[in-house]
Structure 1
Amino acid sequence: MPSFTVAAAPAVELFEATMSLVNEASKSFTSLLLSLMRSAHWDIAAAVRSIDAASSTSATMNNPTTTATMFTDSIVGANHAKYALESYGESENHQGFDHETFYMDGSLSSILHPDQHRRDCFTQYRDMKAMDPIELLSILPTCSFGNFCFKKYLSIVHPKMEESLFGDLEQRRQVLDGHHPRSQFYGEFLGLAKAVWLLHLLAFSLDPPPSHFEASRGAEFHSQYMESVMRISGNNGGPKVGMSMVVGFPVSPGFKLGNGSIIKARVYLVPKN
């Protein structure tokens, strides 16, 4: 039965594997974005400071008890701007992840018809998994996934960013007109968007769905729930023994699955003040 297949243990393992694909796609997109910024002679340090300031403001608004400390000097100084850019992209792409349509509409199918919704999500996952996203969107440009791509692209790529990187706003114009550009940059973005979309479908296929969490800036490192993106670690993906480190910023979210297993949040660690 489809419902049994969706709820079976392999689906949890599939979710874990798909989260790994999200992280790989995120790294690939970030690498291309950073390369384009350098080719356009961007001040990478200034760009990261701008992203960090926006993230710090958001963190303070969401959690007034947390001090949003600026860590950009150590990040850029160590040539780790890629982690700040990846954090930015991951944060934008996962906004709304806890809702069945990323809040693109007011659908309540997962509440009103939970069993059917889980089956539908897993069917969509299986149908879409092997498809080239640009080929899918050339046929169904305004399907739910297509609308997700429109929304996230416009959120991640600011008009001034696009104009600086490419000399015009042609890709943005196409997106606003309901078309999906056939450029290398948009294609790389689609790879990341597809991975996040598949992860979301799997999340809503599981019963219970995974719970989503993110490390807070300035938080103590907990190896049970976090792993450092830096390979300067000791055991469990954490800092070396004797080092006092805290979360500089979250890079990607973590999940707690229904079977009790944890997909660790990826974090950038900095020395504790």
Structure 2
Amino acid sequence: MTRKVSNFSDLIQRVTASCLLHPLATAASGKEDENSPYDSEENRNEEYEEEENEEYKEEEEYEEERAVGPLKALKVKQMEGLMEEVFETVSSMKRAYVRLQEAHSPWDPERMRAADVAVVAELRKLAVLRERFRRSGGGEGKRKGRRRGGGVASVREVVAPYEAVVEELKKEVKVKDLEVKNLREKLDSAVALSSNGSGEKKPGRSLSKRKLGIQAIAAVPTPELFEAAMVQVREASKSFTSLLLSLMHNAHWDITAAVRSIEAATASTEKYHSTSTTSIVSAHHAKYALESYISRKIFQGFDHETFYMDGSLSSLLNPDQFRRDCFTQYRDMKSMDPTELLGILPTCHFGKFCSKKYLAIVHPKMEESLFGNLEQHSQVQAGNHPRSEFYNEFLGMAKTVWLLHLLAFSLNPAPSQFEASRGAEFHQQYMDSVVKFSGGRVSAGQVVGFPVSPGFKLGNGSVIKARVYLIART
């Protein structure tokens, strides 16, 4: 028994030593972690919860897509409709602007006002569409803000050219207002002058001027209005001639040789030829020869409705409408500054007329000798109009002739132009001498040396005398 106990004690010691040398707790605990029913159940619960959450998220996304889809489609449809309205408005604006441009040439104030109203109306429509676009953009995100800003920028880019046109029209209105004021001042001074009279003028002439001042604001074309326009042509022609002659003197021209050249050019177109090698014009009368040259150039083609700048036959195909159009253009242009007009419409019919006549009157060699270069000549040839004092003076003269031409084709019947021929007998009924004789009467034996400006026979039987330079019969 004692041996069994001893053996049993030895056995316990050996087991105890073995447990101390080889602990089983870690291995057992590892196996428990791998095979524990509690741990595996927790893992399965976690996996199930994750799967359930994913399914829930998918269902939420699906529900959101189902809810947002119709709203998104509606918004896209609204934006498409808005853009269609924008494109239609821009197209309408372009058409209105084209009509505005067409109303400038030929000049039609009624069409111009209507087109201007249409352009402004389309601009207002665009402003309304812009506000609608801003309100419909609505998002708080930066991306939406950028989109909205880009849309507004694009609309502004479209509107910018038309806003510039509106500004130009406003400037033109201001110019017209100033011209109206200047015209009223001139009219008041002309009426005052005609009422005071002049001791050197005949009573009949003073009465005629008073009538002309009244007729200047008439609503229909009249022969008296044509007479007043012819007076303005002569005054403008004298002013331009004086400026050109002074420039010739400053450039040390041989005025006598220039006059002989003008006389030779005049004689080549007349039946009468002078055999004298000396000038028939005295030194202090050179201005009349120069004015004759200018008048002949600028009145060339006056009998045609466009000065033969094109082959138009409107005055023959629809004469009544053409007369109305001419008088409308006359009334619109009368109060305008030609420089401002050509700054806006350099290639209108009046602009082409000015270019053609300037190149005909001022030869390149003449311009180079007067100004030292051909800058103005080059600009006119390119279709532009210089802003020089000399060209502005020329434009003033060209405008008076253009207005006279418009009036001529406004009247029914139209005035008939005539010109005294070189060497013709002097007829007081149809001619007026530019050189005044003692006693106020032309001495016997005087003939036409050369014509200075043309005359006209009017439909009411009155005559605008041709101005001539007289010489003694040889």
When normalised by structure 2's length, the TM-score is 0.53
Q: In structure 2, the residue corresponding to 1:206 is in which secondary structure?
A: coil
Q: 1:42 aligns with which of 243, 248, 253?
A: 253
Distance of aligned partners of 1:234 and 1:217 in 2 relative to their CA distance in 1, 3 Å threshold: farther
The residue that corresponds to 1:88 in the other structure is 293
Between the two structures, name the one with larger relative contact order (CA 8 Å, sep ≥ 6): 1
Structure 2 residue identity aligned to 1:109: S
Shift of 1:74: 3.5
Please say if residues 56 and 70 of structure 1, whose CA atoms lie closer than 8 Å, have aligned partners that are also in contact.
no
Deviation at 1:67, TM superposition (A): 1.6
Per-residue deviation, 1:54: 1.1
Matched, 1:174 2:375: no
Kindly indicate whether the alpha-carbon contact (under 8 Å) linking 1:213 and 1:253 is maintained by their aligned counterparts in 2.
Answer: yes
Q: 2:429 aligns with which of 224, 229, 253?
A: 224
The corresponding residue for 1:62 is: none
Question: CA 1:131–1:121 in structure 2 vs 1: closer, same or farther (change >3 Å)?
Answer: same
What amino acid is aligned across from residue 219 of structure 1 in structure 2? Answer: A
> CA RMSD, aligned part only?
1.4
| Contact 2:280/2:449, CA 8 A, preserved across alignment | no
Q: Are 1:215 and 1:226, in contact at CA under 8 Å, matched by a contact in 2?
A: yes
Match of 1:67 among 258, 267, 272: 272
Are the equivalent residues in 2 in contact too, given 1:53–1:70 (CA < 8 A)?
no
Q: 1:164 to 1:120 in 2, by over 3 A?
A: same
Which residue matches 2:240? 29
Report the number of matched residues. 256
Partner of 1:203: 408
Q: Distance in 1 between matches of 2:297 and 2:263?
A: 14
Q: Say which SS state the counterpart of residue 255 (structure 1) adopts.
A: strand
Whether contact under 8 Å (1:96, 1:103) holds in the other structure is yes
Q: Is the Cα–Cα contact under 8 Å of residues 262 and 293 in structure 2 kept in the other structure?
A: yes
> Which residue identity is paired with 1:247?
V
Separation of aligned partners in 2, 1:233 and 1:210: 33
Give structure 1 stretches of 5+ with no counterpart: 60-65
1:69 deviation in Å?
2.2
**Contact 1:121/1:204, CA 8 A, preserved across alignment:** yes
Question: Partner letter of residue 282 of structure 2?
Answer: V
Distance, in Å, in 1 between the alignment partners of 2:467 and 2:326 is 26
Per the alignment, residue 462 of structure 2 pairs with 261
CA shift, 1:48, in A, is 0.8
Given that 2:259 and 2:279 are in contact with CA atoms closer than 8 Å, whether structure 1 keeps it comes out as no
Corresponding residue for residue 214 of structure 1 = 419
Determine the structure 1 residue equivalent to 2:109. Answer: none
Structure-2 change in CA distance of 1:70 and 1:231 (3 Å): farther
- Residues 110 and 6 (structure 1 numbering): CA distance in 2 closer, same or farther, change over 3 Å? farther
Point out the structure with the larger helix share: 2
1:145-164 correspondence runs (5 A): 145-164=350-369
Deviation at 1:51? 1.2
The structure that has the greater radius of gyration is: 2
TM-superposed CA distance for 1:234, in Å, is 4.7
Structure 2 unmatched ranges of 5 or more:
1-217
Specify the code of the residue in structure 1 equivalent to 2:239.
Answer: S
Identity of aligned residues (%): 70
Q: Tell me the residue number matched to 2:442.
A: 239
Partner amino acid, structure 1, of 2:330? Y
Task: Say whether 1:140 aligns with 2:311.
Answer: no
Partner Cα separation in structure 2 for residue 199 and residue 248 of structure 1: 26
Worse-matched range after superposition: 148-157 or 67-76: 67-76
Partner of 2:105: none
Contact 1:6-1:119 within 8 A present in 2 as well: no
2 CA distance for matches of 1:70 and 1:172? 36
Contact 1:159 1:169 (C-alpha < 8 Å) held by counterparts: yes
Aligned partner of 2:263 in structure 1 is: 52
**8 Å Cα contact 1:133/1:191 also seen in 2:** yes
> Larger deviation: 67-76 or 250-259?
67-76
3-state SS of the aligned residue for 1:69?
A: coil
Structure with greater proportional strand content:
1
Report the AA paired with residue 451 of structure 2: P
TM-score (norm 1): 0.91
CA contact (8 A) 2:413 2:459 kept: yes
2:125 aligned with 1:125: no
CA distance in 1, matches of 2:343, 2:438: 45
Cα deviation, 1:224-255, whole Å, max 9, x if unaligned, reads: 000000111555xx513xx3100000000000
